[in-house]
């Protein structure tokens, strides 16, 4: 499953791809997970070749694209509201504007979108972006256009994404697409299709290009990165049918991560998202072995109750998850672990909820992303189970979980007091233009006085103070990762 992107970036229109001679203007905005933001960069790259430069002004756009998320009902409602806004702009200022819907909602609703939302001219699912030139031609000729075909091998490995709205330091690189896990609450298998992996060489080339352009940190991205498996192409589930040679030369996630760490020793690596049942011990050893692989694992658990985990079709019990956490802590001392949790899944009792709270205490999560259950049409839970936890209970349980996470986060930040951490400077601190802001290996935001350092520098910072989410300190010099 996919981690969602920082809320503040949700819906921001992407800047600024300029190619000389391009005359048409594209406004593209993204909602949902990092994969969607990454896909929008692929889309912008494709459209640059079709004569489009990006704009941040809706009013002057020839084409408006919205990359959508279906994960919860609220995510879909947000997009519906944006469509109302486009409608208003089209009516009052920009009558020639065309509107396309991309991503998970496009895949889920298909042609229903064209019927329900008159403003929409084009519906394009997550595996169909290479067809955009043809679809746009249809739209320009006045017809509605749709392509929502899911693919068994599309990974966009051959497209070099334009880095929209980038700070020039951190970048996402997609390595797998789709998900085979079929959690009963989740719409992703329906919207993103089956798991397939991208050729390692094209991943390495993309990272090389980022390195050449001065990027310092890459997050390897997939709905389920730990099940990365390259054996020459095709779906993960068809691996059994691969030839003996393909099997013998296959590359799994720990091998890919190690390749990245070795080939780019001064580039920092993160990855997201891990599924407990697919995370193998080898990956933990790679994290422990290489300084440039961050000590941070996003490990969604969803519930602390084995009974609920079973109803969710998660492939692990509470105890198995705890064993994995023990292993992480043993192999990578001090590793940060974050969670996703859903409260109020059908049939969840107070006892199940208490199990979730006690598991959180056991793991001592550093961060968390917590949600109330939202029934998604078409999922197994929607078809087979009644959404029977009263809204008030869901919200109270959610609040209890959020409060506990805050307490745990505060404890976990405090452990860095008086320690020296390695920080990659990303930007100016939001609160003070005299301070830089970056993250340490464990993914904790750290701020410190600027002195003569600059964004992109790796700096050792002595931590002198902290809040629940942020470390505050002073730079004591460059780290071993610094390239001069």
Contact residues: ligand SF4, CB under 6 A: 2, 4, 32-33, 35-36, 69-71, 103-104, 187-188, 191-192
Q: Nearest to residue 215, comparing CAs of 274, 291, 270, 155?
A: 270
Q: Which does 300 bind (CB under 5 to 8 A by kind): ligand SF4, ligand 5AD, none?
A: ligand 5AD
Residue 32 partner contact from ligand SF4, ligand 5AD, none using kind-dependent CB cut-offs of 5 to 8 Å: ligand SF4
From the list ligand SF4, ligand 5AD, none, partner contacted by residue 376 (C-beta under 5 to 8 A by kind): ligand 5AD
Q: Pick from ligand 5AD, ligand SF4, none: which does 276 bind, CB < 5 to 8 A by kind?
A: none
Pair 481, 291: CB distance under 8 Å: yes
Contact partner at residue 35 from ligand 5AD, ligand SF4, none, CB < 5 to 8 Å by partner kind = ligand SF4
Q: How far is the CB of 32 from ligand SF4 (least distance, A)?
A: 3
What residues between 392 and 451 interact with ligand 5AD by CB under 6 A?
A: none
Binds ligand 5AD by CB under 6 A, chosen from 268, 376, 397, 412: 376
How many CB atoms are closer than 10 A to CB 7? 7
Instruction: Among 123, 124, 164, 186, indicate the residue that binds ligand 5AD (CB under 6 A).
Output: 186
CA 322, 324, 329, 330: dihedral to nearest 10 degrees? 120
**Least distance in angstroms from the C-beta of 375 to ligand 5AD:** 7
Specify binding-site residues for [4Fe-4S] cluster: 33, 69, 104, 179, 183, 186
DSSP string, 143-157: --EEE----SS---T
Sheet holding 24-30, edge to edge: 52-54, 24-30, 63-68, 98-102, 122-124, 145-147
Residue (187 or 472) nearer to ligand 5AD, CB: 187
Q: Minimum distance from CB of 373 to ligand 5AD (Å)?
A: 5
Q: Which residue among 129, 215, 373, 416 contacts ligand 5AD (CB under 6 A)?
A: 373
Distance CA 310, CA 300 (A): 15
Q: In angstroms, what is the minimal distance from the CB of 31 to ligand 5AD?
A: 13
Peptide bond into 273 cis (omega under 30): yes
Region of 314 on the Ramachandran plot (φ > 0 left; ψ -120 to 50 alpha; else beta): beta
Coil/strand/helix, residue 82: helix
Geometric angle at alpha carbon 152, from 146 and 154, rounded to 5°: 70
Least gap, CB of 279 to ligand 5AD (angstroms) = 14
Which residues inside 258-317 make contact with ligand 5AD, applying CB under 6 A? Answer: 300, 302
226 part of the interface to ligand 5AD, by CB under 6 A: no
d(CA 342, CA 344): 7
- Choose, by CB under 6 A, the member of 14, 43, 72, 117 that binds ligand 5AD: 72
**What does 292 bind: ligand 5AD, ligand SF4, none (CB cut-off 5 to 8 Å by kind)?**
none
Residue 117 touching ligand 5AD (CB under 6 A): no
Binding residue count for ligand 5AD, defined by CB under 6 A: 15
Q: Output DSSP code: residue 90.
A: H
3-state secondary structure of 223: coil
Give the largest Cα separation in the chain, rounded.
65
Pick one of ligand 5AD, ligand SF4, none as the site partner of residue 70 (Cβ within 5 to 8 A by kind).
ligand SF4
Shortest Å distance, C-beta 76 to ligand SF4 = 10
Classify 445 as helix, strand or coil.
strand
- With b for 16 or more beta-carbon neighbours within 10 A and e for fewer, the 373-410 pattern comes to bbebeebbbbeebeeebeeebbeebbebbeebbeebbe
Shortest CA distance to 186 belongs to which of 79, 356, 22, 300? 300
- Shortest Å distance, C-beta 4 to ligand SF4: 6
* Contact partner, 371, from ligand SF4, ligand 5AD, none, Cβ < 5-8 Å per class: ligand 5AD
> Is residue 342 at the binding interface for ligand 5AD, with CB under 6 A as the rule?
yes
**Residue 222 in contact with ligand 5AD, rule: CB under 6 A:** no
CA distances from 459 to 24, 67, 216, 451, 463 (A): 43, 36, 13, 11, 12
Q: Minimum CB separation from ligand SF4 for residue 103, in Å?
A: 6
Among 35, 71, 101, 423, binds ligand 5AD (CB under 6 A): 71
Q: How far, in Å, CA of 397 to CA of 381, rounded?
A: 20
Q: Residues annotated as binding site?
A: 33, 69, 104, 179, 183, 186
With binding defined as CB under 6 A, does residue 340 bind ligand 5AD? Answer: yes
Pick one of ligand SF4, ligand 5AD, none as the site partner of residue 340 (Cβ within 5 to 8 A by kind): ligand 5AD
Residue 147, CB-side half-sphere exposure with 13 Å CA sphere: 14
Helix (H, G, I), strand (E, B) or coil at 10: coil
**Residues in contact with ligand 5AD by the rule CB under 6 A:** 1-2, 4, 71-72, 185-186, 300, 302, 340, 342, 371, 373-374, 376
């Amino acid at each position: 499953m996919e981690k969602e992107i920082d809320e503040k970036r949700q819906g921001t229109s992407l800047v600024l791809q300029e190619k000389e001679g391009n005359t048409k203007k594209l406004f593209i905005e993204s909602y949902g997970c990092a994969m969607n933001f990454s896909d929008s960069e692929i889309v912008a790259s494709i459209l640059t070749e079709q004569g489009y430069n990006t704009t941040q002004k809706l009013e002057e756009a020839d084409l408006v694209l919205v990359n959508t998320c279906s994960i919860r009902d609220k995510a879909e409602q947000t997009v519906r509201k944006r469509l109302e806004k486009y409608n208003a702009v089209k009516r009052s200022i920009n009558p020639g504007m065309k509107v396309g819907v991309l991503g998970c909602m496009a895949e889920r609703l298909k042609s229903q979108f064209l019927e329900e939302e008159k403003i929409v001219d084009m519906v394009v699912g997550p595996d169909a972006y290479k067809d955009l030139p043809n679809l746009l031609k249809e739209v320009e000729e006045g017809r509605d256009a749709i392509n929502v075909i899911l693919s068994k091998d599309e990974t966009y490995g051959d497209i070099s994404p334009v880095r929209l709205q980038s700070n020039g330091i951190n970048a996402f690189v997609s390595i797998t697409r789709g998900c085979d896990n079929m959690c009963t609450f989740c719409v992703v298998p329906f919207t993103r299709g089956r798991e397939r992996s991208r050729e390692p060489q094209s991943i390495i080339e993309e990272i090389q290009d980022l390195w050449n352009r001065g990027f310092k940190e890459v997050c390897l991205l997939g709905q389920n990165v730990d099940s990365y498996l390259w054996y020459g192409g095709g779906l993960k589930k068809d691996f059994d049918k691969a030839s003996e040679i393909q099997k013998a030369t296959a590359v799994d996630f720990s091998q890919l991560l190690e390749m990245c760490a070795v080939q780019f020793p001064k580039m920092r690596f993160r990855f997201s998202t891990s599924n407990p049942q697919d995370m193998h011990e080898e990956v933990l050893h790679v994290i422990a072995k290489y300084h440039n692989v961050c000590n941070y694992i996003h490990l969604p658990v969803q519930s602390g109750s084995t009974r609920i985990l079973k109803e969710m079709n998660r492939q692990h019990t509470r105890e198995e998850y705890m064993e994995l956490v023990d292993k992480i802590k043993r192999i990578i001392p001090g590793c940060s672990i974050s969670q996703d949790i859903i409260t109020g899944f059908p049939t969840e009792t107070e006892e199940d909820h208490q199990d979730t709270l006690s598991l959180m205490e056991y793991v001592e999560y550093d961060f968390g992303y917590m949600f109330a259950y939202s029934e998604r049409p078409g999922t197994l839970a929607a078809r087979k189970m009644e959404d029977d936890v009263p809204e008030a209970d869901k919200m109270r349980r959610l609040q209890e979980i959020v409060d506990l996470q805050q307490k745990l986060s505060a404890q976990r930040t405090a452990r860095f007091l008086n320690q020296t951490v390695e920080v990659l400077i990303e930007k100016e601190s939001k609160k003070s233009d005299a301070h830089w802001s970056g993250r340490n290996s464990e993914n904790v935001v750290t701020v410190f006085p600027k002195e003569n350092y600059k964004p992109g520098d790796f700096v050792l910072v002595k931590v002198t103070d902290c809040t629940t989410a942020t470390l505050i300190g002073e730079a004591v010099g460059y780290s071993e990762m610094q390239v001069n």
